[in-house]
Structure 1
Amino acid sequence: MLTKKKYSIKDMVKWTRWETASFLAHTAIVVILFHVLEFSFLHVPWTPVALVGTAVAFIIGFQNSAAYGRIWEARKIWGGIVNSSRTWGMKVKDMVTNEYASDKVNQEELDKHIKALIYRHIGWITSLRYAMREPRTWEVFSQHRTNKEWSDAICIPEVVQEQSKELSNYLSDEELKYVLSKKNKAAACLYLQSTHLRKLKEKGLIWEFSFLELENLLEEFFTLQGKSERIKNFPYPRQYATLSYYFVWMFLILIPFGLVPEFAEIGRKMTSRFPEIGQYFIWAAIPFCGIVSWIFHTMMRIGTVGENPFEGTANDVPISTISRGIEIDLRQLMGEENESIPDQFPQQYDVQM
């Protein structure tokens, strides 16, 4: 979703080139039938076509507004995950101490607990981003020809890397086995976190008040996870998506039947003064109809690809980049060497994943 440069018209035309070709071909057929073969009955009054176009504009506007709302909400949720994750790292680092412990342990043992809590948190974020990338039946982005070209050209981390291998970097073998046995792996990581905190509280390595603070943060993580899952598992209402699709295509089919006769009439009026232009003016309907059709269809497609903000498209929330950024921050704050910390996922075609 986050790009370093604006989309160019060239990119948009390439993305919609097959539909644009069909719009031009459809209009050319109508012009040939109406002008060359003189099928004058192929005439739809422009007023009803304009009324349909007005209704379609409202529908597309509603769809785009709803899609943008879903994207923006998802971005705010993952922004909350970033902030809460940094808070988690800070509190774990400063709250796991010997201050209230009856049997004090050495600093190496404390660092071991701190590292386990922070690494397990990174495991939670990793599990969550993999869950958000799992396909749903209503996610149809990759089914479109030009969308599939994009999917084939990029490497979405959650697609090319195995989840179990990624989680093995942050969880012990026993924890990994437990997490992989659960359907909701992210929730399983948070359960492990709570169990670990309780054991530390019982040993006195976490003060009771600190325990409540960290438990409240786990509750916040559950809340943010649930909000993210709500967007993932509840699609844009199908009745609106389906009706929008059919109404737009109905309007796109009608446009040439309303505009071509109008261009023919304008050409006849121009013939007396500009005969050479007037007799061919009807052919100008082809690019004009193509542009109008392209605008309506492209706006519909923009709304469609924005309905599900976790598919890995160029317009989605870059949860892979956000997750890796959190990992880098937490591990650097723990004092790890930069050589041991993984690099950020590279941008592909100026797009963050």
Structure 2
Amino acid sequence: MIVSDTPSFGRVVQEAMPPLLLLFVWDVVVTIAYFTFAPKLLEIELPMTLFGTALALVLGFRDNSAYARWWEARSLWGLMINASRSLARQAITLIDDDPVKGKALSREIVLRQIAYVHALRCVLRGQDPLPEITPFLKADEIEELTGTKNIPNALLNTSARHLAHANGLTDSFRRVRIESTFVDIANAQGGMERIKRTPLPMHYRFLPQLFTRIFCVLLPIAIVSDLGILTPLGSTLVGLMFIAALQIGDDLKDPFSNTVHDVPMSAMCKTVEIDLLQTLGESAPPALVPERGVLM
């Protein structure tokens, strides 16, 4: 997630320059054609104001839909952070303070929750979670997880199963309370998986791109008779606005794409790790800070 108030010039050039260069070259071609051999042919009156207004509405609606997906993803991760803190607190306070079994089970559940959020982050980004979760789990559990399709869900099930078999360390009422937190965590994971596996409908992705390209192609033809040699400048600036609006939707439509525009899952997972380790009274790593205006 970009947190800097001012965009990086290099990043802007990397993302916007290729289509803008192509648009500028087309504007120059139209301008040269108008002044050399086809002035009458290019004096065409096109309803670009009407077309541009309709396109702006389409792009605005698409960007709102893409941002709604991004914001829902961020809200679900906020719920995940809160539920992880609640689970750690419940593991410490609702499991009997047995000097051997009770404390060991509490610590095991808390560490497994840290592994869970890291595993979920990696799965959503299409990465291998095992290297990330190895420091928090026992070797035999890592071996059991090898080949598992849904590692985060397996970790959650293991915690619930160990809690259910903790005879004498907690009662049924306490187990039900902790299980409700497991349900909150599973619901948040399900919401994230829904966003990841359900892209924007095809028409939301294809039609705005098609209409934007058509608009940029027709724009210099419609204004060359009025702007003359300034057509490449005017057409490129107007095209930049529509291309930028189109790019915003592309950047936000997948909040788990592991780019500078996605939800800062690495930072949030590190927050969970810090909070839960401190709940156990153990030393915690430093929080992640933005690098070059980007928080991952």
Contact 1:46/1:259 (8 A) holds in 2: no
Over residues 38-74 of structure 1, what are the superposed CA-to-partner deviations in whole Å (9 max), with x where a residue is unaligned?
4420233132x22222221111111100011001100
Structure 1: gaps of 5 or more residues: 99-104, 135-157, 264-281
Tell me which residue corresponds to 1:101: none
- CA distance, structure 2, for counterparts of residue 8 and residue 127 of structure 1: 31
Aligned to 1:312: 258
Question: Helix, strand or coil: the match of 1:16?
Answer: helix
Alignment of 1:49-64 (within 5 A): 49-64=48-63
- In the TM superposition, residue 216 of structure 1 has moved relative to its aligned partner by 0.8
| Contact persistence 2:122–2:129 (CA under 8 A) | yes
Q: CA deviation at 1:178?
A: 2.1
Name which of 344, 347, 351 aligns with 2:287: 344
2:141 corresponding residue in structure 1? 175
Tell me the CA shift for residue 5 of structure 1: 2.5
Q: 2:247 aligns with which of 301, 306, 313?
A: 301
After TM superposition, where is structure 1 displaced by more than 4 Å over at least 4 residues in a row?
Answer: 8-11
Contact 1:2 1:318 in 2 (8 A): no
d(CA) in 2 for partners of 1:9 and 1:172? 46
Instruction: Give the AA of the match of 1:343.
Output: P
Aligned position for 2:155: 189
Give, in whole Å, the separation in 2 of the partners of 1:8 and 1:120: 38
Contact 1:95–1:206, Cα closer than 8 Å, also in 2? yes
1:321 aligned counterpart, secondary structure = helix
Distance 1:291 1:8 in 2: 19
1:84 correspondence with 2:100: no
- Residues matched between the structures, number: 296
Distance 2:76 2:83 in 1: 11
* 2:168 matches 1:204: yes
Deviation at 1:174, TM superposition (A): 2.1
Structure 2 CA distance for partners of 1:224 and 1:214, relative to 1, 3 Å: same
The DSSP-based 3-state class of the residue aligned with 1:46 is coil
Which of these residues, 154, 174, 178, is aligned with residue 214 of structure 1?
A: 178
Residue 52 of structure 1 aligns to a residue whose secondary structure is: helix
Say whether the 8 Å CA contact 2:119–2:130 is kept in structure 1. Answer: no
Q: Return the alpha-carbon distance in structure 2 between the equivalents of residues 342 and 179 of structure 1.
A: 25
Classify 1:342/1:180 alpha carbon distance in 2 versus 1 (closer, same or farther; 3 Å).
Answer: farther
1:258 is aligned, of 205, 222, 227, to 222
Q: Where does residue 198 of structure 2 map in the other structure?
A: 234
Q: Which runs of 5+ in 2 are unaligned?
A: none
Give distance in 1, aligned partners of 2:68 and 2:8: 24
Cα distance change on mapping 1:131 and 1:253 into 2, 3 Å:
same
Contact 1:117/1:193 (8 A) holds in 2: yes
Report if aligned partners of 2:123, 2:129 keep a CA contact under 8 Å in 1: no
Tell whether the 8 Å contact from 1:118 to 1:330 is kept in structure 2 after alignment. Answer: yes
Residue 218 of structure 1 aligns with an amino acid whose one-letter code is F
Shift, 1:131, TM fit: 1.1
Partner of 1:117: 109
Q: Does the alignment pair 1:164 with 2:163?
A: no
Equivalent-residue separation in structure 2 for 1:321 and 1:18 (angstroms)? 31
* CA 327–10 in structure 1, closer or farther in 2 if over 3 Å, else same: closer
Contact 1:127 1:167 in 2 (8 A): yes
Q: Which residue of 2 aligns with 1:327?
A: 273
Matches within 5 A, 1:269-308: 282-308=228-254
- CA-CA distance at 1:259 after TM superposition: 0.6
CA distance in 2 between counterparts of 1:36 and 1:243 reads 35
Deviation at 1:19, TM superposition (A): 1.6
Quick one: percent identity of the two aligned structures? 27
> Take 2:34 and 2:43, find their aligned partners in 1: how far apart are those partners?
8
CA positional deviation for 1:194: 0.9
TM-score by length of 2: 0.94
Offset, 1:313: 1.9
Cα offset, 1:27, TM superposition? 0.8
